[in-house]
Structure 1
């Protein structure tokens, strides 16, 4: 049960070493805790500043949207033109649908025209009702 003096001294030294290391770790932990507190405060400050900026931007966008929504109404003739355009598109959908599915002729071909391209005969000045060109004179 009795320990010798050298063993006891060795245990005392180890105990002091352990206590010293513990004190260092406690100091590091306290230092890290303070750093984290400072970082959290900075993040909270930055977060609040970002929230205020975002709020200001949203208010500015809302003001711009309000100003734009009241001023630029399309003119009546443009509205009528747009309405007619979409009515025309809706009317031609079935014809184009048949063509795109390969079940019908091309929508721009007339009822009497064959499907595909046709060659036109060359027109002359006479066909168009123009006078003939004068013949070039030869040099003497």
Structure 2
């Protein structure tokens, strides 16, 4: 019985750790999505500006060569900046390792929980000891 309590406590701590790491990953994903949205908006703005400039160039019949060079130079600089912002580094090794461990843990416990969730088997960790384990966890938290 004691081993079930310690196992339950250990699993509870492991679960809390995984959940907190998951929250960190979710926040990072949201931040990355926000960055991508900002990047897309800036690209749209750059495209709109280029379109307006090109349209004005088409309307004008003649333009001095220096002004054309400035426009071309601006386009090249904008393209360079755009290419530099598109370079995204691979995820950090800690993140990849965490994802791998998380999914390995999930795959390990799926067969135990699947039968319970389908209503074909009892609670996989031990229903009779569940209240005692909760009390032990609460005492340790205090």
| TM-score (normalizing by structure 2) | 0.42
> Which structure is larger by alpha-carbon Rg, 1 or 2?
1
Structure with the higher fraction of residues in helix conformation? 2
